[in-house]
């Protein structure tokens, strides 16, 4: 278990006269034993950051500390990290057991104990019976588990996982999320996990760093980044969100005039009245009722609208509502509830002020 | 109105059911059967016949002949040395050129292919000039004060000639292995090495435990060609004057009017050894390591080298290129030298030799003969290559894989052995005597060239076809194009680069083919360029070597131009054609 600290890490690729900046000013502190996620869209620099941690890519500037010790210039084989690669990188010319033994072998451990460690780790991932197979004889899920066993067998200070579930089908991916978190947490190793899948991050992480265009835009627990996104990018990238811009009528408690109507928010702000702000409301936080069904019309955040369309997704349905000012919001409701509604119906949308998120600039 | 199918006569329905391509496949099998397997069978049969009966008499005599056994051992040792030298030279070169980025990379890696434009056999023309007792090396050593020519005879660096042959072969053949290794390295997912580094292996260990084992198929693919080429090379040892080799013995025996079972027993032993070495190599090195199963494999961009690293790479690659092109330079200088005796560079230059070979009837005819043989065999190869690749990649016909394998086999069977088979097949009194070397060898030479170079075209066209999604043709069919039109309008233009490049290579290699040409062209009016070079080099003419070199220069121009064009058209895929 180690603490990982990144200080002002940046990475620039220079080819001829063109310069591509991949990472800029990354500062991060990962607690010992934490399962930490780097989440962001393709090309945001998350894999580069992971490879910088592994020592496979040199940062252009900045320092990396493992438990306070500067490891920036250590070669990859001296870092004590073990990585699960996106394509698993299981060596095709070696059997599964030989792949798993590789790490302990490199640490100078004798053959017999190496074999014992490898079998132990294969047992943890329930792959013992495949030990004698070649990687090409394994399914995607089995390859993923073998790659994890290989990384675990090295008993690393830090486990690095590069989108390890991205090659699996949706069903297996959902199953492996739970299993992978259990396995990683049981080793008590600090782990850094890269993904672009927000569901994976929300369901598995202790904490998440959201990256965009080479910068960290928010760090927090899954609840924090989902419920209190700090900007439009995070709100939009993690889960679905409805946005509306407006002007602050009143501060603390906040009241915002928007084209759809006046919205109240329970959040605190230091911005003066009259400032331009953007509000975000999650689709599942909106209640839809017929006009007569809201008894008290004076409760805050009651917006009148017309149902444009209803999309059925099994247990849930998504309703598109056109509000005043031409603003269209998506609303998630249980399908049983949606049955009572129809396109063209005049409705009221209600939002609790604590669910109206006022985003930063 | 069309007659309903059921009412058509039996024969019409039957013909309609025969797939034209399947008929083509059958034809190709027949072609390979008659002109590849049958000659080999003749070699085996003649080697195992004594006084009209099956017998191991000749083979037994061979094994008890210490001189012949020594020659076989020498050939084997030569092939091992050449292959070993090639591996030692090309592994670091391929690693440097694929794993690092440096200034002038494209230029240097293209120059590395330069040796391919000169068969070592022609390069040997200039080797005596460099390494002979009064050669350039000794003159340079004297000039710098390391040697005193007035004190007795200077050292003869040629020695017996064994090492000169090995070095000449290495310098000529290493690009084949280099192309294979660099293609294999470029296709190797860099995450294999990274995973090992990440688990604690240092760079050397990663190379030894991960990279090298994964490179084995590429190493085998190129190594097998180099080994077999060297094992049975006739031209280079003949020109260098080192004749203690089985291949040279076979060549000399085949040139005699009465070829006995004794010669064929030697050819048979060489054939068996070639096949055994090939299979052993395949077993040890060539097994697929399953690299193809890697998902999301991506080529690494390469680590940029600083000024010092770049300088070191330039010195290393520059030294290899310099040494490799020395024979070329020697041949060119010999071709244009008016007087060159006991001096480092020619004293006088002239175009007389070049003009002479273009004007003199024998040499001019040899050039025209080669052009004709090469053009015909290239045409045949393109048809065969396109048909076979189509059967394999698009139609996946039953037996197409077997056909592909049969068409690849000539790479593993040396030219001189196949030529011996043709001699046996067209011997006086046999059915095919009319196309034999003593009558008019045009047909048999064209067939020999076609069979020997077919693998290059099949590989190149197959690679091209595999890269074109079938959906492109389907889209054309869907919009109303017939099958032939879809191929003509869509597929052919898309694989044109592969067709042209492999055609050019086939043409130029046919122009400078050695083994078949030396063995099968026995009357001067049918000589191709290579046999004319050999004949000129050993003629009594005072300018013999200069004229042979002038012919070599013309060959280099053809091969060099073709290779450069092929490299531009095919890019990195060029390596794919030099694979077994």
The ipTM value here is 0.71
Contacts for B536 with CB less than 8 Å, ≥ 6 apart = B363, B544, B547, B548, B551
What's residue A190's pLDDT?
95
Neighboring chain A residues of B205 at a CB cutoff of 8 Å: 106
Q: What is the pLDDT of residues A199-254, one digit of tens each?
A: 999 999 999 999 999 999 999 999 999 999 999 999 999 988 999 999 999 888 89
What stretches of chain A show up as alpha helix (H) in DSSP?
A: 46-54, 96-106, 111-124, 140-153, 170-187, 198-204, 222-227, 232-237, 335-338
CB distance A316 to A334 below 8 Å: yes
**Confidence band for A40, pLDDT divided at 50, 70 and 90:** very high
CB distance B211 to B193 below 8 Å: yes
CB distance B226 to B90 below 8 Å: no
Lowest-confidence pick of A84-88, A126-130, A285-289, B557-561:
B557-561
Report the run of H or E that residue B410 belongs to, with start and end.
none
Residues 272-301 of chain B with CB under 8 A from chain A are 289-291, 293-297
What's the longest Cα–Cα distance across chain B?
A: 100
In 3D space, the residue among A48, A140, A67, A238 whose CA is nearest the CA of residue B295 turns out to be A140
For the cut 70, the answer to whether the pLDDT of residue A16 exceeds it is no
Instruction: Say if B191 is an interface residue toward chain A (CB within 8 Å).
Output: yes
Q: Do B200 and A154 touch (CB under 8 A)?
A: yes
For the cut 80, the answer to whether the pLDDT of residue A296 exceeds it is no
Q: What angle do CA A98, A100, A101 make, to 5 degrees?
A: 65
Q: How many CA atoms lie within 13 A of A254 on its CB side?
A: 30
Distance between CA atoms of B401 and B209, rounded to whole angstroms?
Answer: 33
Distance between CA atoms of B400 and B390, rounded to whole angstroms?
Answer: 9
Within 10 Å of residue B204's Cβ, how many Cβ atoms?
A: 8
Distance between CA atoms of A119 and A126, rounded to whole angstroms?
Answer: 10
Burial of B268 (0-12, 13-18, 19+ CB in 10 A): buried
| Helices A140-153 + A111-124 axis angle, to 10 | 130
Distance between CA atoms of A163 and A84, rounded to whole angstroms?
Answer: 8
In 3D space, the residue among B484, B88, B375, B420 whose CA is nearest the CA of residue B254 turns out to be B420
A and B: number of Cβ contacts within 8 A: 86
DSSP label at B574? G
Q: How many residues are listed for chain B in this entry? A: 580
Instruction: Say if B210 is an interface residue toward chain A (CB within 8 Å).
Output: yes
Distances in whole angstroms, Cα of residue A295 to Cα of each of A306, A349, A355: 19, 13, 21
Residue keyed to tokens 């190496």: A114
In 3D space, the residue among A102, A114, A99 whose CA is nearest the CA of residue A77 turns out to be A102
Distance between CA atoms of B310 and B142, rounded to whole angstroms?
Answer: 34
DSSP label at A80? -
Report helix, strand or coil for B528.
Answer: coil
Facing B200 at nearest CB: one of A92, A93, A107:
A107
Q: Do A106 and B201 touch (CB under 8 A)?
A: yes
Instruction: Say if B194 is an interface residue toward chain A (CB within 8 Å).
Output: yes
Write out the E strands in chain A. 4-15, 18-30, 35-39, 61-66, 69-70, 81-84, 158-162, 190-195, 207-212, 215-220, 242-250, 254-258, 261-265, 276-281, 286-290, 302-313, 316-323, 328-334, 346-351, 357-359
Report helix, strand or coil for B483.
Answer: helix
Q: Do B189 and A77 touch (CB under 8 A)?
A: no
Report the run of H or E that residue B349 belongs to, with start and end.
strand B348-349
pLDDT tens digit at each of 580 positions of chain B: 444 545 667 666 666 556 677 788 888 999 999 999 998 888 888 888 777 778 888 888 888 888 889 999 999 999 999 999 999 999 999 988 888 888 888 888 878 877 777 776 777 778 878 887 778 888 888 888 777 777 777 777 777 789 989 998 998 889 888 888 888 888 788 889 999 999 999 889 999 999 998 888 888 878 888 888 898 888 888 888 888 998 888 888 887 766 777 888 888 888 888 888 888 887 777 665 555 433 333 445 577 888 898 999 999 999 999 988 888 888 899 889 887 877 788 888 888 888 988 888 888 899 899 999 999 999 999 999 988 888 888 877 777 888 888 888 887 787 888 888 888 888 877 777 777 777 788 889 999 999 988 988 888 888 888 887 777 777 777 767 777 777 887 888 888 877 887 888 788 788 888 888 888 888 888 899 888 888 888 887 778 888 888 988 888 888 778 777 777 776 656 655 555 4
Residues 115-134 of chain A with CB under 8 A from chain B are 134
- Burial annotation B342-365 (CB, 10 A radius, 16+ → b, else e): eeeeeeeeeeebbebbeeeeebeb
CB distance B114 to B325 below 8 Å: yes
Q: Do A102 and B290 touch (CB under 8 A)?
A: no
Q: Do B290 and A134 touch (CB under 8 A)?
A: yes
Distance between CA atoms of B566 and B288, rounded to whole angstroms?
Answer: 28
Neighboring chain A residues of B296 at a CB cutoff of 8 Å: 86-87, 167
Q: What angle do CA B59, B84, B67 make, to 5 degrees?
A: 30
Instruction: Say if B204 is an interface residue toward chain A (CB within 8 Å).
Output: no
Contacts for A134 with CB less than 8 Å, ≥ 6 apart = A92, A94, A95, A96, B290
In 3D space, the residue among A190, A49, A186 whose CA is nearest the CA of residue A125 turns out to be A186
3-state secondary structure B29-50: HHHHHHHHHHHHHHHHHHHCEE
Within 10 Å of residue A296's Cβ, how many Cβ atoms?
A: 6
- Shortest distance between the Cα of A270 and any Cα of chain B, in A, equals 48
Distance between CA atoms of B468 and B490, rounded to whole angstroms?
Answer: 10
Tokens standing for B364?
């001019």
Instruction: Say if B104 is an interface residue toward chain A (CB within 8 Å).
Output: no
Among A12, A92, A100, A162, the residue to mutate for chain B (most B Cβ within 10 A):
A92
Contacts for A239 with CB less than 8 Å, ≥ 6 apart = A198, A202, A226, A282
Within 10 Å of residue A305's Cβ, how many Cβ atoms?
A: 23
CB distance B374 to B384 below 8 Å: no
What's the longest Cα–Cα distance across chain A?
A: 78
Q: What is the pLDDT of residues A112-130, one digit of tens each?
A: 999 999 999 999 888 999 9
The alpha carbon torsion through A227, A231, A234, A237 (nearest 10 deg) reads 110
Residue keyed to tokens 């025209």: B368
Report the run of H or E that residue B100 belongs to, with start and end.
strand B100-101
Report helix, strand or coil for A207.
Answer: strand
Q: How many CA atoms lie within 13 A of A212 on its CB side?
A: 13
Distance of CA A120 to the CA centre of its chain: 31
- Shortest distance between the Cα of B225 and any Cα of chain A, in A, equals 24
Q: How many residues are listed for chain A in this entry? A: 361
């Amino acid at each position: 278990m180690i603490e990982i600290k990144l200080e002002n890490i940046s990475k620039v690729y220079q080819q001829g006269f063109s310069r591509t900046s991949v990472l800029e000013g990354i500062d991060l502190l990962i607690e010992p034993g934490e399962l930490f996620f780097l989440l962001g869209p393709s090309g945001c620099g998350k894999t580069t950051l992971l490879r910088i941690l592994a020592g496979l890519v040199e940062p252009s500037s900045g320092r990396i500390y493992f438990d306070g010790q500067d490891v920036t210039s250590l070669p990859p084989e001296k870092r004590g990290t073990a990585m699960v690669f996106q394509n698993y990188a299981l060596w095709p010319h070696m059997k599964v057991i030989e792949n798993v033994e590789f790490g302990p072998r490199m640490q100078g451990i004798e053959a017999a104990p190496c074999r014992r460690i490898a079998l132990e780790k294969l047992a943890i991932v329930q792959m013992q019976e495949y030990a004698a197979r070649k990687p090409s004889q394994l399914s995607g899920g089995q390859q993923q588990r073998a790659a994890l066993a290989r990384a675990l067998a090295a008993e690393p200070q830090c486990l690095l996982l590069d989108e390890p579930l991205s090659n699996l089908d949706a069903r297996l991916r959902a199953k492996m999320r739970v299993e992978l978190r259990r396995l990683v947490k049981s080793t008590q190793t600090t782990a850094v996990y890269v993904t672009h899948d927000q569901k994976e991050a929300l369901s598995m992480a202790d904490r998440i760093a959201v990256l965009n265009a080479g910068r960290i835009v928010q760090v927090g627990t899954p609840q924090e980044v989902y419920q209190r996104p700090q900007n439009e990018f995070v709100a939009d990238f993690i889960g679905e969100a409805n946005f509306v811009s407006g002007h602050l009528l009143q501060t603390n408690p906040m009241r915002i005039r928007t084209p759809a109507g006046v919205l109240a928010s329970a959040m605190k702000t230091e911005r003066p009245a009259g400032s331009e702000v953007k509000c975000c409301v999650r689709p599942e936080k909106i209640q839809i009722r017929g006009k007569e069904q809201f008894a008290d019309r004076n409760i805050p955040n009651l917006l009148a609208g017309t149902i444009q369309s209803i999309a059925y997704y099994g247990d849930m349905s998504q309703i598109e509502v056109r509000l005043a000012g031409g603003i269209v919001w998506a609303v998630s409701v249980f399908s049983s509830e949606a049955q009572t509604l129809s396109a063209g119906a005049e409705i009221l949308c209600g939002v609790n002020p604590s669910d109206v998120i006022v985003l930063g600039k | 109105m069309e007659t309903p199918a059921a009412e058509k006569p039996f024969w019409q329905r039957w013909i309609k059911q025969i797939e034209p391509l399947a008929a083509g496949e059958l034809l190709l099998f027949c072609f390979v059967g008659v002109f590849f397997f049958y000659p080999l069978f003749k070699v085996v049969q003649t080697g195992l016949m004594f006084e009209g009966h099956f017998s191991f008499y000749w083979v037994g005599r061979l094994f008890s002949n210490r001189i012949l056994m020594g020659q076989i051992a020498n050939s084997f040792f030569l092939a091992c040395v050449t292959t070993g030298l090639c591996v030692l030279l090309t592994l670091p070169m391929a690693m440097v050129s694929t794993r690092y980025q440096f200034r002038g990379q494209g230029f240097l890696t293209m120059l590395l292919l330069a040796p391919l434009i000169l068969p070592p056999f022609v390069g040997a023309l200039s080797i005596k000039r460099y390494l002979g007792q009064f050669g350039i090396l000794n003159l340079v050593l004297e000039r710098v004060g390391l040697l005193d020519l007035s004190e007795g005879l200077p050292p003869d660096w040629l020695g017996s000639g064994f090492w000169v042959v090995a070095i000449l072969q290495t310098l000529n053949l290493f690009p084949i292995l280099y192309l294979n290794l660099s293609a294999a390295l470029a296709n190797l997912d860099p995450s294999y090495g990274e995973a090992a580094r990440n688990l604690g292996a240092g760079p050397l260990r990663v190379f030894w435990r991960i990279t090298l084992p994964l490179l084995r198929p590429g190493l085998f693919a190129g190594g097998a060609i180099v080994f077999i080429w060297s094992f049975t090379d006739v031209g280079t040892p003949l020109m260098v004057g080192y004749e203690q080799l089985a291949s040279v013995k076979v060549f000399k025996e085949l040139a005699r009017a009465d070829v006995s079972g004794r010669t064929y027993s030697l050819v048979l032993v060489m054939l068996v050894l070639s096949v055994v070495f090939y299979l052993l190599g395949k077993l040890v090195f060539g097994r697929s390591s399953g690299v193809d199963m890697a998902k999301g494999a991506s080529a690494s961009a390469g680590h940029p080298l600083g000024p010092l690293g770049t300088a070191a790479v330039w010195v290393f690659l520059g030294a290899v290129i310099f040494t490799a092109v020395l024979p070329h330079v020697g041949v060119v200088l010999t071709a244009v030298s008016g007087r060159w005796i006991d001096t480092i560079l020619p004293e006088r230059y002239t175009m007389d030799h070049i003009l002479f070979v273009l004007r003199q009837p024998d040499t001019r005819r040899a050039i025209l003969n080669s052009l004709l043989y090469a053009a015909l065999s290239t045409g045949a190869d393109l048809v065969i290559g396109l048909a076979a690749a189509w059967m394999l990649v698009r139609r996946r016909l039953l037996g197409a894989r077997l056909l592909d394998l049969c068409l690849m086999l000539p790479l593993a069977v040396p030219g001189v052995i196949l030529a011996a088979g043709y001699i046996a097949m067209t011997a006086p009194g046999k059915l095919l005597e009319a196309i034999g070397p003593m009558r008019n060898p045009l047909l048999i030479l064209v067939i020999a060239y076609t069979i020997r170079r077919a693998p290059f075209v099949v590989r190149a066209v197959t690679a091209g076809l595999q890269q074109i999604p079938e959906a492109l043709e389907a889209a054309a069919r869907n919009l109303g194009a017939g099958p032939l039109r879809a191929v003509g309008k869509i597929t052919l233009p898309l694989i044109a680069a592969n067709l042209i490049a492999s055609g050019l290579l086939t043409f130029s290699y046919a122009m400078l083919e050695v083994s078949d040409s030396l063995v099968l062209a026995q009357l001067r009016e049918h000589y191709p360029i290579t046999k004319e070079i050999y004949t000129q080099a050993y003629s009594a003419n005072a300018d013999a070597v200069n004229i042979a070199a002038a012919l070599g220069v013309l060959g280099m121009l053809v091969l060099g131009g073709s290779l450069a064009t092929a490299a531009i058209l095919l890019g990195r895929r060029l390596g794919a054609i030099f694979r077994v």
